Amino acid sequence: MTMPQTITIPKPDDWHLHLRDGDILKAVLPYTAAHFARAVVMPNLKLPVTTTERAIAYRDQITQALSEHMTFAPLMTLYLTDETNPNDLTRGYEDGVLFAAKLYPAGATTNSESGVTEIQNITSILDRLQRLGMPLLIHGEVTDPTVDFFDREAVFIDRVLRPLRRNFPELKIVMEHITTQAAVEYITSESPYGRLGATITPHHLLLNRNALFDGGIQPHHFCLPVLKREKDRQAIILAATSGAGMFFAGTDSAPHLKADKERSHGSGGIFSAPHALATYAEIFDQAGALDRLANFLSTNGPAFYGLPVNAATLTLEKLETPAVPDLKSILTPNGAEIVTFPNETPLSWRVIEKHPL
């Protein structure tokens, strides 16, 4: 009998995560805490995290939902609005409550209605972030209804990001969940390392937009930003597997109840937390880049943010034959179902769990 192929890496961090609150938080948190030491937690709750006080309350809610053996650190973000108070933001950052600020163009994704309507409205906030050295995390899509849905990210780079970086050259920016060749080219060509980074999700690495229509409409493949063309997928695979320091993992794991995904006007978002690492490993294996998996999952992010690499480790093993993961959905305490990604897609890798869930 041959020994299975394994790979051991410093415990990863998730640089872009949605945990929600209440019942959904309780249901999804163990899956992230099992595989990731830290995560940047998105603030787009139904009542968005727009003040330091709300960030403290949300952080408490997350830590209370952790069970004893879990050593997981949530990194809290502040949801910017046209009315964000720069002094509250400064206090939250200097007190170590806030890790970063999050820019949602109004209407770009789930619970983004109170997001920033015009970037000009937050000039004083951007100035403050730059002075503090506090990172700005950006959902980089325009919401202009005359722009084609699949072009929202590319247009955002030209209309918003280029001028923003000219006006605030020292601002530390992460373009989140990049999906396009345009974004990869912009980031690799323009980035003085350390000022501009990007996260990449497992679903944008695994699927192109054909997956939205494969055998009929596929609500569980609908996410924001939406899946893109194959050439875009190939570009982000090259970026992720390059080992380059500006690219790191952010799952954008975003739970929605199955019933909310499968209705008319179904929600955008993919719950990938349980199988995200296995999916990333699959992509890196196919690209012949397993030797750079640790850069993307475990070391690039901490280096970008100036944090230590996690001392704990995590091991993945390769299966003899690819298999569809057993866990295809989870239940909230109320019995509502949340479908996991990649669901029916066979994977060759799995995480060796230290504590069975």
Query: Is the separation of the CB atoms in 257 and 338 below 8 Å?
Result: yes
Region from 96-104, 148-156, 249-257, 342-350 binding Zn ion, contact rule CB under 5 A: 249-257
Is position 141 an interface residue for Zn ion (rule: CB under 5 A)? no
Calculate the alpha carbon distances from 106 to 100, 226, 270, 311 in Å.
Answer: 18, 17, 21, 39
Query: What is the length of the chain?
Result: 357
Cβ closest to Zn ion, residue 149 vs residue 193? 149
Cβ closest to Zn ion, residue 153 vs residue 252? 252
Report the catalytic residues: 252
Burial classification of residue 96, based on how many CB atoms lie within 10 Å of its CB (0-12 exposed, 13-18 middle, 19 or more buried): exposed
* Cross-strand bridge partners of residue 329: 339
Is position 252 an interface residue for Zn ion (rule: CB under 5 A)? yes
Region from 3-11, 206-214, 246-254, 313-321 binding Zn ion, contact rule CB under 5 A: 246-254
Query: Is the separation of the CB atoms in 262 and 219 below 8 Å?
Result: yes
Q: How far is the CB of 312 from Zn ion (least distance, A)?
A: 25
Q: How far is the CB of 126 from Zn ion (least distance, A)?
A: 21
Region from 59-67, 155-163, 250-258, 343-351 binding Zn ion, contact rule CB under 5 A: 250-258
Task: Report the site for Zn ion in 209-228 (rule: CB under 5 A).
Answer: none
Separation CA 144–CA 149 (nearest Å): 9
Tokens of 326: 């057993």
Residue 22 burial (CB count, 10 A): 14
Q: How far is the CB of 110 from Zn ion (least distance, A)?
A: 8
Q: How far is the CB of 103 from Zn ion (least distance, A)?
A: 12
Phi-psi region of 265 (alpha: psi -120 to 50; beta: other; left: phi over 0): left
Phi-psi region of 354 (alpha: psi -120 to 50; beta: other; left: phi over 0): alpha
Number of residues that bind Zn ion (CB under 5 A): 1
Is position 282 an interface residue for Zn ion (rule: CB under 5 A)? no
Q: How far is the CB of 255 from Zn ion (least distance, A)?
A: 11
Cβ closest to Zn ion, residue 252 vs residue 282? 252
Binding site for Zn ion (CB under 5 A): 252
